[in-house]
Chain A
Amino acid sequence: MKSARNVNFLQVNNEIRRLLAEEGVIILPSSQAYKKLKWTRDHFEMKPEEGYFIWVKKQVIHPLTTCITISSPRISQNPRNLIVVEKNVQAEVHSICNTMKRNLHGSHIGHTKVIVKEQSTLQMKHFHKWEKGDTVGSSLQFHLQKGATLSHVYKCLDVPEKLKTELDSFLDSHSSANIKTAVLAKRGNINMHDSTFLNGEGSSATMRVRMVADQESKIVSHSKMIANNAGIGHLDCMGLLLSEKSSISTAPELMNRNKNATLTHEASVGRIPKGTLNYLRSRGLTEDEAIDLIITGFLGETAFSYKGRVPPSKIHM
């Protein structure tokens, strides 16, 4: 990850603080893109006032980074972002939305549309970090043209009291998407909806959702895979419950409209098996360390520690 000084787009509260274009990449505030580039208007649902437009016309070696942050109380953000990756181009985008402090009671309702053109590749990492009093909504759309490849990771390990996410992916022929979502809720209420449309022949998608609920949290996840053409799709929704007062509801749904398409799903919600904990304890790990390792692995993290965030007594229900 780049340092804040090298962020390509930085919005603090409602003000753009930094805009750093690269060779072969056009970066504009969405409002300017809407004004200057008429074709972008087809991709904004309404005239944008906040947010960024990134147009990757040539391959960039390092990741492009955006950051939309809240640093003052009672700020309301409504960014509308558009990312376009041109044909035969490989790009990587890291997108961060967060709050700087506690008790700012901010509101962040973000809309992002991503167009990955023919034979291009996009790796996108999207990180959210919020405090309890914030209200957050995120709507994300991916449009993958013929032969395009997408790898998308969304992580929110510090959730607000209420988080609502929507993710829709539309895949043309021979395009592929690998989408991972990981959320860790502590006294949070999370509602996630994702739909993946296999519209083109030979398209393929994998959607993986990992949810951890602790301390009176509620997570509801609806994942839908729709085959309108001969493609392959897989949904994989897993939840870990760490407290008695939490709940996880996951509803994977498959809709197949083509006899040559194959859709599969797997889902599970449960606690950490006692046998697994004891196995790790026999390797000299304390119960907290064992839980830490399991959650770290479950959420696909490498530099994250859950240690000390939950007392062991909360684990066994």
Chain B
Amino acid sequence: MKKLITAFLLSILLIGLSYFLHKGFRVSEKVRVPGLMRLMNPNDGLWKNVDISFLNPKDEITLQGPNNPITVYYDDRLVPHIFASNIEDATFAQGYILAQHRLWQMDFMVRLSAGRLSEVLGKATISRDLMMRKFGLEYGAKKAIEEWKKFPEDYKSISYFKDGINAYINGLQPEDLPLEFKLANYKPAEWTDLSSALISKNLAFTLSRRGPDVSNTNTLLHIGEEEYNKLFHMNDPNQIPVIRENVAIESSLRRDKPDDVHDLSHTLSGYTYHAPHPGAGSNNWAVAPSKTSNGSALLANDPHLQLTLPSIWYEMHIVCPGINSYGVTVPGIPGIIIGFNDHIAYGSTNVGHDVLDYYTIDWVDKEKGTYKVDGKVLEAQKVPQKIKVRGQEDIQWDMMITEFGPIVWESENPDNKDLAMQWLANKSPNKPEFNSFIKALQCKDYDCYKAATSNFLSPAQNFVYADREGNIGLRINGHLPVKYEGEGAFVKKGTSLQNKWSEFLPRESNPQTLNPSLGFVSSANQKTTDESFAHPYIGGFEDYRGRRINELLEEGEQLDYKDMMAFQLDALNIKAREFTPLILSNIPSTMIDDKNRKIVDALKTWDFRYSKDSEAPYYFEKIADKIEDAMWDELESEDYKMSKPDFWRLYQLALENPEDAYFDIKSTPEKESFQSLVSQAFAEASEEIDLSKEHNWGEKLPTNVMHLINIPAYSRTDLPTGGNGDVLNALKGNFGPSWRMVVELGTTTKAWGVYPGGQSGNPLSPFYDNMVDDWATGNYNELFFSADESTYKEKCKIVHTLIPTNE
């Protein structure tokens, strides 16, 4: 009996221990120990994720889907070179390969975009899910798919891609699941059309959700129209527009400002503005043969996006009859988004026009089901939402959709109205826009490229182009709403349908240029055009990078690909070049002593480059930040948020009127001037900085490439890179050049590229982060590109053949 009782107790211990070692347990609110034995066992745990693919280089994979065998050669950076018999098979292979190397990332991005992360990650991601649901990405993606289906011929391509991904998922054994699935203990969802649509919507969310309408409205009400216009209502006059010689066909479409359109009844408090990261942006340019050393056109592109591991980009090369194309795509999207082929090269930067407006809604009933528009009572569409939360109860609410868009802010204050959001990304496309980047692979000239990408909807991009014939071009591509002057700056009244924009410029009227007399085209997220453009727009535009690249390209002669690389890595800051002399001339000599002379000397001898070994950038940023903080104290309120003017406005005021009232600090009895602010900022900076130590910029603002769910062990942090958001090498914390590409279009196309990551999404693979160090030091890889399969047969050790089951 005694033995039986002992056996029983030990069984309980055994079962309990096994359970906890499988499922894990929570130590505290924030710390959870995962199932250690489930993860660390050698049979189906993380040890099965150890990448030994290079030890089994020849693999034949039989699967359903392709029509003919597809051969995939992996080079020494694990870049796949796909040789297929037709574009359908190539698209299938693209899906399969992306899933093979980036499945967890793709699944994660879909869940993130749809607001379904909490389903697998628990309560930590509820607020993120709520935000994404309110932005309506899934709602917009579903509407897009309904429209896509109306074009069955074009729609096929996304089906091939989906089939490729699912062929991989269906063949997965539990032990082969990517590491992160095992860590969080869940499985990948089946890939659907909605999945790709959501990934595309997520790009729009990253790049086109700018909408400071609420804080602008508060600022206008706080300081009045005259002061507002003084501070905000213009772009930096020094900006050089993207399109300097516009060849677009002018549209007759115009929009008059409706009467009484803005809702300026009261300030709005409590609203959370999910602003895009200030580091998001890009550079691109193309140089005509007349300015290059060997008579070949050159093209360069570096999109500045979040730097993550796995990387946002995946490099691939696709060869099939009529196609020999290389470049990068976002895992989850078919085709090549930024790349080149034998004939052309192309890339993109974000346009940044304001395509997101807010409207106050006049609810008729207390239940907020009906609202008044143009004198009529309309019923809001109710879309039930359920957020499943792992380990706790589901969260449910009804998403209300008005004629203006979904309700994104429900006010708790009865004096405030709810806000609906009109956002271009949620608009249904009326053309098959999703396969722009598959069609682009096949182009040999500008007309083809224009036609291939003409249905691209959102987020609007500056599409740069160059070809072997020496043509260069740049086109604003994407939907541009027809707006009245200044539309979108303030919250509008949702009382009339006339208040919302509903027409778009015909694509041939989007600003564009082809072979301009300057001999180059460029864009760096600055304003699109000068004032002569007939269609008003506002947006968030970059002030310095565009000027710098224009400066370099205007001065440059006999340029070659090495110059393009040097330009991409250029760290000269025009903001610092203009503002530093003002700082130095306004520091009273009496303030400079032996201790802080180091700061002054560093600034005086500075070449205005944000080099990783330079100390001056740190001193400059410290002082400039302090001046800016003190400057706009008039725009601080405890009750509501206000917008702050761009830095160029401060600089301009300092030049024009250093005694301007905005330089005065309201909380002091004295009347401050620009000089007072500089003195104060310099004194504070001297006090705070330990001048006995070195303050190299690379160490003060290191670059971090974080794992997507911030697993420190699988992130690369504290990379001493130099750079800054205002310079061409636009590194800003965990944002920056996510892919650097330079293409030379000579008799043969040559290209170089690098991104901060690796081809594999598997943290245990040597190809997970193998390009990070090269990227951080500014090295490029020559992109291995040929349509001759025998080249790859000789060079590539890892060869996978996808064989159709019916073979």
Chains A and B bind each other:
no
